[in-house]
Amino acid sequence: MTALPGIGPQLGRAFERLAGPLVVDLLWHLPTGLIDRRHAPPVKALAAGEVATLRVKVEAHQPGFGRRPYRVLCADDSGVLTLIYFNVKGDYLARLFPVGAERIVSGRVEFYGDQAQLAHPDLVLRPDELDRLRPIEPVYPLTAGLAPRIVQRAVAAALDRVPDLPEWADPGLKRSRGWPGWAEALRSAHNPASSLDLAAAAPARQRLAYDEVLASQLAVALVRARRQRRRGRIIAGTGQLAEKVEAALGFAPTAAQRLAMAEIAADMRQPRRMMRLLQGDVGSGKTLVALMAMLAAVESGAQAALMAPTEILARQHHETLRRLAKPAGVAIGLLTGRERGRARETTLAGLASGLIPIVVGTHALLQPDVAFRDLALAVIDEQHRFGVEQRLALGEKGREADTLLLSATPIPRTLMMTVYGDLDVSPLTEKPPGRRPVDTRTVPLDRLDEVVAAISRALAQGAKAYWICPLVDESEDADLAAVRERAKALERRLPGRVGLVHGQLKATDKDRVMAGFAGGAIDLLVATTVVEVGVDVPAATIMVVEHAERFGLAQLHQLRGRIGRGDQPSTCLLLYQPPLGEVARQRLSTLRETDDGFRIAEEDLRLRGAGEVLGTRQSGLPSLRLADLEAHAELIAVAHDDARLVLDRDPHLASARGEALRLLLYLFRRDEAVQYLRAG
């Protein structure tokens, strides 16, 4: 950025905050509005609120004092215009506006009584500087330390430096859409002539958005192509163990589960490395599908491992899988940070010898001294909780091992392609039968007493309930105190039946409370969002979320997914602190209206934007800046096909267009994908 004239280290930092570190980032910092300075009425025709540009004569100065602003009285033939300045220092206004001189001034018109005025005009020019007046100015998003004019000037300087690059867009597409070339598109996007040019549908904007999604689709396709070239092993289960497990289930897998199981099994039978995402809303039954895949590995004489993001989840999976796998006589090990000493030694030995065919654990599985005799399948639960590296690290402990990722965060279809285009996806679109929809209600916090009374009654009749309190950060003492306080208050109403879990609790204590809740000892579990993911206590039928307005949509959906798991009717009470902001109000009403995870995800995307939905930083994926997932959804699909087609014809990007596409990848910092071209 400091390569641009007039941008030193300090401004450079401000620009980096605004747009990014490189000049090209500034080119992608597109205007969000415009100011039309062509409106040039006489003073007497001015209207409040409009932007006007006037040629006036300076008549007199009225320096300010105290809180009175400085006034410069000007006029044209039709009337008097006052220029207002606050906090004037020195004599610069006297120099800027010599009495008797003509000036061109431009700004937003205000009225004080019937007196037209401009407060701190945007623009003051001498008549001989008229060529510096830009009839239509782009308006850019700003950040502290950067005035509009500085950003305008820097962007203009960046535009002057735009090189002419060979065309990478498909000529047919470009023609049929009437798109300009890249450089032309940038110039036009930064010089809007009317608000039409600011719209997502403007050809220049479309062209730039297309470049961005094409770069991302191409990068994803390259990664995918490389992966498919990576040799894997053929894992073909005999079905013997799976049959025994299924016979003892007590229910039949849903059609969606069967389909996912078949897709995974077919994938594992291929001599390629599997990288598949099993995507299913909370409660859709991913665990069973994962178990069947793990059993296939075991049947073929190898091992499988499942990694979960938290201790609680790992223990619960261990418990569930052990129960499910028991009829098949398959031993399931457990390895978390808490397994130490002898227990840990035994598990490690079992994994190394192959005596333990399946292990469940946390990050602890990634420790260097954890070795397998023959790991063939790595399953990552709640995959978005792990970094990109970690997701792959478990599989690295095996020999050409397959990877199965599980996700309960439904990803909107549009995002799916841009972000997970390199994964094969098995969606679990159907929930196990017999589930009743959760009755969801929103209740203002001032009716807390009524809620507590209602919960007490329900518990007296044998119900089990979660009570979730917000905790922004586990180190926020005030929030933590509030959770403890709530637990205490509820404990007074329901002595001996209330448990409390939060992130600062020792793991053993957490387990004890969770076990108490799953068993019979505890009926009301007060918790922070540690129960958000995966916890499965089918007998729980009530979920209270305190300060629901502080939670995200996806998070509330996850929380609500903890109930409605059994055959009893369930209720979710979202307690909120009025007055609700607009976004919070929309979130809560979406939850009342639907429990369809995909609809909720789409809505979440609309309310929050893509980066946040995905936790972009965590997922290691750059977010989109030029493309708007909603407005340009159709372009994403086109780019998706285009990228595939290009690589089919020209897998090494060696043709002329291929060379141009490499430039595109560099431009959007997808150079890691270019490396794959070489690494093969």
Residue ranges in contact with ligand ADP by CB under 6 A: 251, 253-254, 257, 280, 282-288, 408, 432, 534, 536, 538, 565
Closer CB to ligand ADP, residue 209 or residue 307?
307
SS3 call for 67? coil
Reference 380, options 361, 357, 352; nearest CA is 361
**DSSP H helices in 529-680:** 553-560, 582-593, 597-608, 610-614, 616-619, 633-649, 656-667, 671-679
Q: Check: CB of residue 313 under 8 Å from CB of residue 382.
A: yes
Closer CB to Mg ion, residue 286 or residue 502?
286
CA distance 294 to 357: 9
Closest distance to ligand ADP from the beta carbon of 431 (Å): 8
Closest distance to ligand ADP from the beta carbon of 391 (Å): 17
Closest distance to ligand ADP from the beta carbon of 459 (Å): 22
Q: How far is CA 407 from CA 256, 276, 388, 426, 556, in A?
A: 15, 11, 14, 10, 16
Closer CB to ligand ADP, residue 8 or residue 433?
433
Closest distance to Mg ion from the beta carbon of 287 (Å): 5
Both tokens of residue 201? Answer: 């549908």
CA distance 422 to 225: 8
Closer CB to Mg ion, residue 107 or residue 534?
534
Closer CB to Mg ion, residue 214 or residue 295?
295
283 binds, among ligand ADP, Mg ion, none (CB under 5 to 8 A by kind): ligand ADP
Closer CB to ligand ADP, residue 188 or residue 287?
287
Closest distance to ligand ADP from the beta carbon of 290 (Å): 8
407 binds, among ligand ADP, Mg ion, none (CB under 5 to 8 A by kind): none
- On the 0-12 / 13-18 / 19+ scale of CB atoms within 10 A, 462 is exposed
Reference 439, options 555, 274, 343, 572; nearest CA is 572
Quickly list DSSP for 410-451.
---HHHHHHHHTTSEEEEE-SPPTTPPPPEEEEEEGGGHHHH
Closest distance to ligand ADP from the beta carbon of 437 (Å): 15
Closer CB to Mg ion, residue 534 or residue 564?
534
Closer CB to ligand ADP, residue 41 or residue 538?
538
Closest distance to ligand ADP from the beta carbon of 566 (Å): 8
Which residue in the shown chain puts its C-beta closest to Mg ion? 534
285 binds, among Mg ion, ligand ADP, none (CB under 5 to 8 A by kind): ligand ADP
254 binds, among Mg ion, ligand ADP, none (CB under 5 to 8 A by kind): ligand ADP
556 binds, among ligand ADP, Mg ion, none (CB under 5 to 8 A by kind): none
Closest distance to Mg ion from the beta carbon of 522 (Å): 22
Closer CB to ligand ADP, residue 320 or residue 586?
320
Measured at the CA of 493, the angle between CA 490 and CA 499, to 5 degrees, comes to: 40
Residue whose entry in the numeric block shows the structure tokens 């028991």: 326
Q: What is the CA radius of gyration of the chain?
A: 31
Closer CB to ligand ADP, residue 316 or residue 336?
316
Closer CB to ligand ADP, residue 7 or residue 291?
291
CA distance 427 to 416: 12
425 phi and psi angles, rounded to 5 deg = -125, 130
Torsion (CA) 485, 491, 492, 494 in degrees, nearest 10: 150
Q: 521 Cβ partners below 8 Å, 6+ apart?
A: 499
Closest distance to Mg ion from the beta carbon of 385 (Å): 12
Neighbours of 578 (CB within 10 A): 8
86 binds, among Mg ion, ligand ADP, none (CB under 5 to 8 A by kind): none
Binding site for Mg ion (CB under 5 A): 534
Closest distance to ligand ADP from the beta carbon of 251 (Å): 4
Reference 574, options 490, 448, 457; nearest CA is 448
Closer CB to ligand ADP, residue 254 or residue 303?
254
Closest distance to Mg ion from the beta carbon of 382 (Å): 7
Closest distance to ligand ADP from the beta carbon of 427 (Å): 12
Closer CB to Mg ion, residue 314 or residue 653?
314
Dihedral sign (CA 619, 623, 627, 629): positive
Measured at the CA of 625, the angle between CA 622 and CA 630, to 5 degrees, comes to: 105
Q: 111 Cβ partners below 8 Å, 6+ apart?
A: 48, 117
Q: Going by DSSP bridges, is the β-strand pair 51-62/102-112 parallel, antiparallel, or unpaired?
A: antiparallel
Neighbours of 15 (CB within 10 A): 27
Reference 265, options 235, 288, 309; nearest CA is 235
CA distance 592 to 576: 14
Closest distance to Mg ion from the beta carbon of 620 (Å): 23
